Structure 1
Amino acid sequence: MNLEQRIEVFAKLGEFLKQFSTLKIEKVNDSEFNTLFFDAFEMQINRAHEFNGWFNKPNVLKAFESWSKALSLENLKKWTSNYTFNEAITPKNVAIIMAGNIPLVGFHDFLSVLISGHHVIAKQSSNDKHFLPLIAKFLEYYNPEFKEKITFTEGKLTDFDAVIATGSNNTARYFEHYFGKYPNIIRNNRNSIAILTGKETQEELEGLGEDIFQYFGLGCRSVSKIYVPKDYNFELLFNALYKFNDIINYKKYENNYDYNKAVYLMSLFKLQENGFIMLKEDESFASPIATLFYEYYDSFKNLTERLATEKDKIQCIACNENNVNFVKLGQTQHPELWDYADGIDTLEFLLNI
């Protein structure tokens, strides 16, 4: 199976996933793929919250929708055109230890290993272990050569040549100890932030709301902290965020809101809140669920220079100022195939192991 054939399979997967959108779930035809897979995917989407309470249906569909757009033939060709693929190489076994904080969070690594021509040994998180095996079955049906390229395991990892592992700061140290002698990419905690100038429109601030609330703020690309200029008018932000007020009706989110609010009040912390999110002035990057940290800045230039020194803690920066290193407000949850986690080029790594 050459690169062109692998691209074809994933483009077909992208077309299939388009049937599961946030607007509706609709079978567009009675193809053999839909006959075999559509009902299984729909059932798993509807049942996802039973296995992980944070995987409500809108968020699962949002993940499917995002991947359906990313996996276009055009995007796959654009992504892979920047690399040199040697089809004569002997495929390596690449172990992937996946996180489970948001739906299909490990899919990009899974895709990268297979598109590079290697074999994947996937060790999934117990929080997100039902979608990827379904996707694997789809790939294997479309091209049976994938059957020998995909393995799922719940036990100890063996017979691998390289490792891609994602976890917390604590598990990253564990990964370094056990996998340091192998070619590896080891990721730990990172957070995303936003820089506001006070010139944002209502629409742009609503986009920031998507960055904050999508996946309940559990993703590494979820904005957990904002930087605002002195004398910033928070009323502008609260007005724009009001469209997301229904999030408080989700019980797990509400419980976190109530708990964290009680902790803050007992600790006499000063808060700004609107009934579904709390704003707390704090220098840290990682904020608890239902909390958005903020920090004032005097100079935009000085702030960006300071943040550059802490880039190993930051996944992405959302800001509408013209800077190649920024992501536009509202776009943090929509990475392109070439937007790599932690800024590490996964495909380049895989093509050189």
Structure 2
Amino acid sequence: MGDNWKKTQFLGAGSYATIYLARKVDSPLSDSIPVAVKSAPCEDSTSLQEEGRILYELRGCKEIVQCFGEDISNENNEDVYGLLLEYASGGSLTNLIKKYKGNMPESLVACYSYMLLKGLCHVHEEGFVHCDMKPTNILVFPSQDGTDVHNVKIADFGAAKKIGEEEILTPGSDSYHRGTLLYASPESVASGLHIPATDIWSLGCIIVEMITGRSLWTGRRKDLIKKICFHDIKIPEKISGNARHFLKMCLAKEHKKRWTANMLLNHPFIVKNLAALPPNFNDRVMLSLTNPFGRDTWVSTYDVFSTPSDPGEPADLGLVWNSLISC
């Protein structure tokens, strides 16, 4: 299958993987379904494969970026492991925040919050914590009905963990908390504790950013840690009472006082704003039912992106999941 697909455009790079846009070579451009390929050299792909395992467990949720499966290809004489993902042509939530420049309507903020809460409900119910909720990890799929309400989905589970999974952490180190400090919760910064309430705090930070166009916190690392742990939260002033209470329930300093994702879905801020939307709104976030790499919901393939110079044999990593191949 190596000559059927090609990585056509560099999209970005993270701490352990590189992301490319890919298209099927033998299809007209207008008919070609673009996908995103998140890849890393096989010898450095442990973290990426762990993310794949989590995405496999979370498959089927409309508000989480869909992973079609995995691949090992030989590219430029190097074995490369890749995750085959939905492509979000609208970029990330960061792009939308910049577009509105601090003037995103509350009704729109509530719509996006609703989608994110639906995704977090699934993540938490399946026994995981995302640990790195932030605008750049929320991808935008442009509206198909001509409205300003796009579809947003949670992506990048590279920092995710199982609920209750023990961790060996060193206080004061950069790895003491998972994820990004600007969106880190007090308990994760102070105690290295990562629980579902941690994601809810991060969601609160994201909502403040959608409303104001600015991060909840500013400053260097040491200042940020002090502010997160000890400073009072500054809720945006010119917002409704419902939005204000919603944010307080997300940004309670004591994690036990934060509302769960399920509770927040029933908050008036969400319910009243969604009541004004068309009845079919709940169906507008689409789950791709067609896997461009095969008929199964998850595929494990070889050589989809292998270069013709020296395809070689796929690496025998012992890390491509035999249990998934037949799924």
- Range into which the TM-score falls when normalised by the shorter chain: under 0.3
Q: TM-score, normalised by structure 2?
A: 0.27
Structure with the larger helix share: 1
